[in-house]
Structure 1
Amino acid sequence: MPKKLFLFLFFPYIIFSQTLTGKVLDQSTLKPLESANIIAKPLQQKASLKFAIADNLGRYKLELENGIEYEVSVSYISYKEEIFVIQPNSTITNHDFKLVPTGETLKEVIIKHEYKPIDIKKDTLTYDIKAFANGNERKMKEVLEKLPGVEVDKKGNVTVQGKKVTKMLVEGKSFFGGGSKLAVENIPANALDKIEVIDHFNEVGFMKQVSDSEDLAMNVKLKSDKKKFVFGDLEAAAEVANTTGYHLAHAALFYYTPKNNISFIGDINNVGRSTFTFEDLLRFDGGISSFISGRKSLTNLFSFTNDNTDVVQNKSQFGALNYSFTAHKKITISGYSIFSKILLNAFQESNNQYLQSSFSSFENKTLNNSSKSILGITNIKFDFNFSKTSRVFYNIQFQASNNNTDNLLKSVTNTLNTNFQTLSKADNISFKDYFEWHKSYNDNHNTTFVINHAYQKTKPQNHWFTDQPFLSGVIPIVSDAFYVINQTKEIQNHSVDILGKHYWIVNNKNHIYSVFGNNFENTLFSTQEQQVLSTNLVNNFDGFGNRLHYQLNDFYVGLEYKFKLGKWINKPAIYFHKYHLITQQINNNTITKNFWQPQFTSEYEFNKSEKIQFDYKLINSFAEASAYAENYTLQSYNLVYKGNAMLQNEQYHNASLYYNKMNMFRGILMNAYLYFNKKEQTLRNQVVLSGINQINTPVVTNNPETSWRLLTDVSKKIYRFTCKLKTSLSWYNYIQTTNNANFSTNRNNQSIGASVKTAHKKWPDFMLGYTKNFTQLSGLSTSRFSSNEFRAETEITFFKNLIFKVNYVSLSNFENSKSINFFQVTDCSLRYQKKNNPFTFELSVNNVFDTKQKNNYSFSDYIISQQTTYILPRIVLLSLSYKL
């Protein structure tokens, strides 16, 4: 029956279609014209336009409908356009275009057919939306998913030809810090005119030639009627199946003019929907110049991000305001403000096995977690565009967050049954600003100067309440009827980074860059743990409590030489670093070290659609302040951490190889990444295990540590389907010290996934995918895990206005080839949307089968854990949306 249904649905398309192939060549030299645009315009109504792009050999392929007369035109810069008419039911299957040069390479070339579904010019790829959208799309995400070579994952991340979009722009201006999720899930589809994809993006035009930027930007061009008034949509949804009170309200409002724009996104829901991802939040959390790398945030913002239905309750409130206006013809002010409030309740059960040299300890643990997280961020950026040769940026950001949690934990071992309640509160504030100056003196000399400053203060407070003593022999607890442990931490961090770089363009094939800089970090780190007795006396723990003053200065100078040999671009570089570290606590310590750190980048471009790139760095790094705190710090009910005041630096080799190929003629897109990391001096925690209790201490050793990772992503268009194969292979070898014994440890993972998806504008959207994962661990013990993941997605349009969607996922986990758990989750929706009507009605069902829990497994060097997480129940929502 399925085969008959398949033939019934797709047989008409198989019979009534033909393929036209050929080449696009220079008439005089017969040289192939790569990336030429071939457009087949139907000369009858109700037939769709077809297009293709010539590959590096000039080949093209057009899939045409039988019975339709087409006018096929080819255009290429500085060549005269050529037109070929193919008659209905023609038997012609091959035609070569031989274009004649105009001889006017310095003048504008006027092409009759200006409409190009896809246009490629140097580093910019432009999609014309009307060639791909059918009018039933609601959001930008649904449009992007129909563009060839473009993918959008469930977290809102966008990739184009396998490369991730790192900057999101609307009309050339950053949209909410440049993150993609807020754009793709909120910008209305009917506002889009064109999508520009810009490789090696740099917002300072005269710096693009020398910046070596790896940023891939996506610029949204709005329709002309959307640039001068308010547009967007409003959505409200309420539960209709029962009375548990699930609801959703969402607003996305935009106002754009050529000089000014303002955007507002608001969301309130309790169905586990997050408005932005952790990666988007890192942009908001940033406030750091893109020229400065390596700075870590001390605030934990993960709870504010990602869709989270792996809870029993999720209440979210979110508001975001983005703006940009021209204060003066040479001054632009832009910025954003973010507010988020999230209330979560989660319940999880775990079976943990703690691995030790001669035996294992087992623990059954249940965790009931309630949390409240509030975040506020304000960012303002000033752009001073004084002239075509000078650009200045000043950015200032303020952030505040508050996190409160209440954990009820029950731990059962073969010797102890303990109940814990943990109350935690963390107040965080940060202030960051940076100054950037870019200057072009002439065609051969450019300069960049950057000052980056950041201040962060966080003050976590933890309170443990329990009916049993815990961590016996590790913390000096006094016997009492009930146990109350208080902990206070405070971290204050100042950092100032200075960078200067001069770019000397000797000629088109030789560049010399000189660099100097200084990174300074000053941290005050303090902890205090004490037991409050039932008599109100205080027991301060001996050996606990830290007060550390940490200062690290890194002065460096460097020289980079970039040269080109034909299609081969190389950039060797050498940096000299002088590190000076001071730690002041019970015992003061000073470390001064000098290092030469080489770097090398090599790129070979076979043609415009195929290249390979190699990168290498030798890196030295010092641990953060907490790793040097020489007294004990209580981390959790079964973990104590003790820093090491004598820590030295880590040193490691980092290399990567990247290959990319896109062949439009054969419908192939291929990406491959190979990463290699080898540590000569390794920072790793030594672990002392006693039952389930752990003491971790960081040490730097000369034990080698090696990791490899291979990622491949290949897609092939076969007739009207896109077939994909993804692999992820990793090998990780290191020495783990547990209970004073060294164990050579291997952690390997293999993931192989395949999917097939319809790729035809008139067919229903359907995707079927399967992923197989294997994981092996050998060290203290040997373990093998595997999993099977099935995914299916479909979108079918009925009667032009009804759209039905289904998303299905199932996961099976296995340990040593024996099944240990299985779960499946299905979401579906039915949407009624009439073209040119502002109202949309939708009935959605999340967790159709009312799955109660998800099962998973994880492991570390000495713990193997099987987890059961309880999730949100079936939710049936009826929603109404209105487009402005």
Structure 2
Amino acid sequence: MLQKSLFVIALIFSLFTNAQNIKLKGSVKDSLQNPLSFANVIAKPKDVNQNLSFAITDEEGNYALTLKKDNSYTISISFMGYEPLNQTITPTKNTTKNFILKEAKNQLDEVVIELPVSVKGDTTTYNTEHFVTGEERKLKNVLKKLPGVEVTKDGSVTVQGKKVTTMLVDGKKFFGGGTKLAVDNIPADAIDKVQVLDNYNEVAFLKNVSDSDEMAMNIQLKEDKKRFLFGDIEAGKGNKEYYKTHANLFYYSPKTNVNFIGNLNNTGEKTFTFKDYLSFSGGINAVFSGNFNFRGGDFSQFLESNDLVSSSQRFGALNITKTTSDKLDVSGYVLFSHTNTQNFIETLNEYSSFTEQKTQENSQKNVLGIGKLSLEYAPNDTEQWYARTQVKKTNNYKNNSIVSLINENNNSILTDNTNGAWYVNQNIEWHKKQSEKHTFSATANYTFDANNPTTFWNTTNPILQGLIPFDDSQNENRLQQLKENKKHHLHTVFKDFWVLNNSNHIYTTVGNTHQQEKFVSSSSQILDNGSQNNFTSAGFNNTTVFKHNDFFAGVHYKFKTGIFTFKQGAYLHNYNWQVNQQTQIDKNKWVVLPDFLMKIEFNKSKKIQVNYNLKSNFTDASKLANRFYLQSYNSVFRGSENLENELFHSARIRYSRFSLYRGLMFNASINYNKKLNGFRNAVEFDGVNRFLTIQLLENPSENWGFNSSIRKRIKKIRYKLSSNYSNASYLQNIDNMFSTNKNENYSFDVGAETLFDDFPTIEVGFKRSIGNFTSNNSTSKFTTDEPYINVDYDFLKGFIFNFDYTHYNYQNKAQRVENSYEIANTTLSYKNDDSAWSYKVTAQNLFNTTFKQDNRFSDYLISDTKTHILPRIIMFSIGYNL
């Protein structure tokens, strides 16, 4: 039904555009008939109330404009180093018109031409005043109007299909460089230009040798926003006891930048997500990527679901950057997050021989503080120093109530978990361009990571019988487990980039990684009299110390010929490790890890990249512990002290194609991974109880995946089609019997979006995801269909209407379970251009849906899950722009 509706809507829009618009296309060349790529072609309507039409020529100098029939336009063509050309036309039908630009003869007088888009090397600059209407509120609203730029709901930004990894404001990282806080909070009226920096490296002289695949976006502020305070505040009250307050305050001057973001709400809105946390976890320069795994600490409590039955959040963040001199910049931020959440989940777990019905109620409190201080020192143009110190502290409290029903046997389990964690990172970097031939980079990175989780279980019936020495004569069944995890990591790397000539480079690397980890676990039963039934005699309780040293050296040769760039080489690793428990184990081995890179750059908008690596990975101390410890109310785990390193192939092919002339953006990639030696869990079942161990197996898994995305603009409608496919097969040891499991998932999303000037932006589409899990000749199949519609409409003077709706149809084929539910949200806001005040009405979960449903697979378990969500929330908010 939705597909038919989509077709009808697209057909109507197409007919409408055919009747009202015509196409002006052609080429722009110089006097020698050479095509001028990235020239600006602007059609300015005589009627100032109409929007201009804009295009950039492609690599062959072609352009295409959509104009209104019988309207008068001034066509302006401009290109750096050439005299601008202006012509007036009144098109009555589709027309082809070619233009010739002449080189500027007299360039002694300064001529300033404000191009809508200018391209210089890897830098693309958008002059935003040519694209905005004045009704935009935040940075994300501005970015959505720039050609080739897209912003997702989660705050990710892509340009020509490539993801922006670093966000800058006037050249300085904005809150660690993540995009979400920037696009959601920077006011639209403060933005002058948007720069996109491809192949970005924060050290300018490393750009040509770093092989960086990063992309940065730099927001240039208007001059009148650089020397005083600006921002906005908002407060809202909803039905029942729901509320929200939000503040964004920014102060910018040439030498001092201050940003503050604050939020209080109980609507489930997460100002700070786990993805944001990752961007705040520090990092090193891209030239060191792959030389060691940068660890950001185990703060996985921020992975909790957005689907909650109650939520309360307090969030505050302060970022300060100070230029103390021409050589030294000092920056830092502090961030505080406090959340209280509750969720309710119903799960149907399918094991190999039985089914479990389980309900969970969770109450969780997370408190997180992050602080970072960074010094950037550049004594001259050829040398750069960085010193970064980061500290994180978290306290996590979780209460969990589970009711498990198996074959009419009911058990209730109460779990209390507390966890305090510290994380400290100190990083020093040095980069030096010694000469035109040699550039040096070095880093020393130290990390301390510690957490101490404590867990209590209280059950109506004894649990894990046969796996733990449980005294079932007690009136209460109480278990306690204490853990201690401490990790020290020291990484040192030195690199020499030797530039033989523009087409041939040799890179050498020497480094060392030393780590020391300690894992302690203590499990016992709390008896009625307060004493403990310690499980040591039953093989429980661990004290494991893991020391590991990795000395490595590598050499790589990079050369460029025509449109091809090749880089190949290898690292030689010497692994030396020691596992100290009841006895001590010492091992040493050498491993060679080759890698390969090929880039084919047909032009700036069409590229292919091929990567291959042979990778190695060691586990941590908790997997080496050779005595039992509890994982949950129904599972115990024992590691293996004899584990060595994993070894696996990793390959990727990526293709990208972008054309403003054709209104086309296409990306596709294929990924392949095969483990030659890899870790797999082995499980033995005793009813619902699980005993798990870890094994290092030969050829334990193989997986590959394909994903693609194509967007095509035809007249005033943009069509999209994206697809994903993954296929994984892996060995599984269940009850001492090996089998090969297969997990196959595929999905697609097809849709269309209107792009009319005086018409709502309407996006309609259809998503389908299918999951197949095969084990022991039995197959489980899940499907989810999601027709959806999104509407954005700016109307009258200052009104903005937003609406999103998705209908979910979920099917579990094996259990013959089918559910349908709807999720919808809407917003109506108003702001007069001459007033600082704004008003907004929002409705969240408009149809008052009670739950969402999905599925997941693990090594030995298939789960069908209902997650309950917040009820309908209707809120009125008032905002004020400073």
Fold-level similarity (TM above 0.5)? yes
2:680–2:700: 8 Å Cα contact kept in structure 1?
no
Aligned to 2:55: 52
2:283–2:294: 8 Å Cα contact kept in structure 1?
no
Aligned to 1:185: 184
Aligned to 1:19: 23
Aligned to 2:469: 476
Amino acid across the alignment from 1:32? P
CA distance in 2, matches of 1:632, 1:286: 35
* 76, 80, 86: which one aligns with 1:77: 80
Amino acid across the alignment from 1:439? K
Amino acid across the alignment from 2:477? Y
Could you tell which deviates more after superposition, 670-679 or 30-39? 30-39
1:287–1:396: 8 Å Cα contact kept in structure 2?
no
State how 1:537-552 maps to structure 2 within 5 Å. 537-541=531-535, 542-552=538-548
Q: Deviations over 1:737-762 (max 9, x none)?
A: 11111111111111111111112333
1:516–1:558: 8 Å Cα contact kept in structure 2?
yes
Q: Say what the alpha-carbon RMSD is for the aligned residues.
A: 2.1
Structure 1 residue 257 displacement after superposition: 0.8
SS at match of 2:115: coil
State how 1:798-837 maps to structure 2 within 5 Å. 798-816=795-813, 818=816, 820-837=818-835
Structure 1 residue 540 displacement after superposition: 0.8
* 691, 697, 703: which one aligns with 1:695: 691
Aligned to 1:649: 645
1:262–1:322: 8 Å Cα contact kept in structure 2?
yes
Aligned to 1:64: 67
Aligned to 2:723: 727
Structure 1 residue 34 displacement after superposition: 2.0
Q: Deviations over 1:485-511 (max 9, x none)?
A: 111000111000001001111111011
Structure 1 residue 44 displacement after superposition: 4.2
State how 1:223-302 maps to structure 2 within 5 Å. 223-239=222-238, 241=239, 244-286=240-282, 290=286, 291=288, 293=290, 294-295=292-293, 297=295, 299-302=297-300
1:509–1:564: 8 Å Cα contact kept in structure 2?
yes
State how 1:737-748 maps to structure 2 within 5 Å. 737-748=733-744
**Structure 1 residues 439 and 297: alpha-carbon distance in aligned structure 2, compared to 1, 3 A threshold:** closer
Does residue 99 of the first structure (1) align with residue 95 of the second (2)? no
SS at match of 2:452: strand
Could you tell which deviates more after superposition, 142-151 or 514-523? 142-151
**Structure 1 residues 812 and 851: alpha-carbon distance in aligned structure 2, compared to 1, 3 A threshold:** same
Could you tell which deviates more after superposition, 416-425 or 317-326? 416-425
Structure 1 residue 722 displacement after superposition: 0.7
What are structure 1's unaligned runs of at least 5 residues? none
State how 1:487-506 maps to structure 2 within 5 Å. 487-506=481-500
CA distance in 2, matches of 1:276, 1:160: 24
CA distance in 2, matches of 1:7, 1:199: 38
Q: Deviations over 1:840-881 (max 9, x none)?
A: 101111011111111222222321211111110111100001
**Structure 1 residues 347 and 13: alpha-carbon distance in aligned structure 2, compared to 1, 3 A threshold:** same
**Structure 1 residues 644 and 839: alpha-carbon distance in aligned structure 2, compared to 1, 3 A threshold:** same
* 744, 769, 776: which one aligns with 1:773: 769
SS at match of 1:281: helix
SS at match of 1:800: coil
SS at match of 1:285: coil
State how 1:453-532 maps to structure 2 within 5 Å. 453-479=446-472, 480-532=474-526
Aligned to 1:128: 127
**Structure 1 residues 159 and 9: alpha-carbon distance in aligned structure 2, compared to 1, 3 A threshold:** closer
Structure 1 residue 296 displacement after superposition: 6.1
Could you tell which deviates more after superposition, 314-323 or 344-353? 344-353
**Structure 1 residues 92 and 153: alpha-carbon distance in aligned structure 2, compared to 1, 3 A threshold:** closer
**Structure 1 residues 235 and 250: alpha-carbon distance in aligned structure 2, compared to 1, 3 A threshold:** same
SS at match of 2:489: strand
State how 1:341-740 maps to structure 2 within 5 Å. 341-355=338-352, 360-414=353-407, 416-479=409-472, 480-541=474-535, 542-740=538-736
Aligned to 1:86: 88
Amino acid across the alignment from 1:571? K
Q: Deviations over 1:266-301 (max 9, x none)?
A: 000000001133222012233556535553647443
**Structure 1 residues 4 and 434: alpha-carbon distance in aligned structure 2, compared to 1, 3 A threshold:** closer
Structure 1 residue 109 displacement after superposition: 9.7
Could you tell which deviates more after superposition, 119-128 or 192-201? 119-128
Q: Deviations over 1:160-190 (max 9, x none)?
A: 1111111010011000000111101111111
Amino acid across the alignment from 2:651? A
Structure 1 residue 75 displacement after superposition: 2.6
SS at match of 2:119: strand
State how 1:139-150 maps to structure 2 within 5 Å. 139-150=138-149
**Structure 1 residues 5 and 801: alpha-carbon distance in aligned structure 2, compared to 1, 3 A threshold:** farther
Percent of pairs with identical residues:
36
CA distance in 1, matches of 2:437, 2:600: 24
Could you tell which deviates more after superposition, 335-344 or 814-823? 814-823
Structure 1 residue 234 displacement after superposition: 0.2
Structure 1 residue 26 displacement after superposition: 3.1
1:309–1:872: 8 Å Cα contact kept in structure 2?
no
Structure 1 residue 620 displacement after superposition: 1.4
Structure 1 residue 45 displacement after superposition: 2.3
CA distance in 2, matches of 1:48, 1:179: 32
2:682–2:692: 8 Å Cα contact kept in structure 1?
yes
CA distance in 1, matches of 2:407, 2:125: 64
1:612–1:660: 8 Å Cα contact kept in structure 2?
yes
Structure 1 residue 102 displacement after superposition: 4.7
2:766–2:787: 8 Å Cα contact kept in structure 1?
yes
Amino acid across the alignment from 2:73? Y
**Structure 1 residues 386 and 785: alpha-carbon distance in aligned structure 2, compared to 1, 3 A threshold:** same
CA distance in 1, matches of 2:545, 2:300: 28
CA distance in 2, matches of 1:86, 1:99: 16
SS at match of 2:280: helix
Structure 1 residue 622 displacement after superposition: 1.2
TM-score when scaled to structure 1? 0.95
SS at match of 1:824: strand
**Structure 1 residues 724 and 7: alpha-carbon distance in aligned structure 2, compared to 1, 3 A threshold:** closer
Amino acid across the alignment from 1:410? V
**Structure 1 residues 446 and 343: alpha-carbon distance in aligned structure 2, compared to 1, 3 A threshold:** same
2:164–2:214: 8 Å Cα contact kept in structure 1?
yes
Structure 1 residue 341 displacement after superposition: 0.2
Structure 1 residue 211 displacement after superposition: 1.0
SS at match of 2:724: strand
Amino acid across the alignment from 2:463? F
Q: Deviations over 1:525-571 (max 9, x none)?
A: 10000111112221111211110110111110111111001110000
Q: Deviations over 1:71-130 (max 9, x none)?
A: 32323333x2352413224557111123334589xx899666x22222222111222222
**Structure 1 residues 746 and 547: alpha-carbon distance in aligned structure 2, compared to 1, 3 A threshold:** same
1:299–1:458: 8 Å Cα contact kept in structure 2?
no
1:287–1:379: 8 Å Cα contact kept in structure 2?
no
SS at match of 1:210: coil
* 27, 41, 62: which one aligns with 1:38: 41
1:546–1:631: 8 Å Cα contact kept in structure 2?
yes
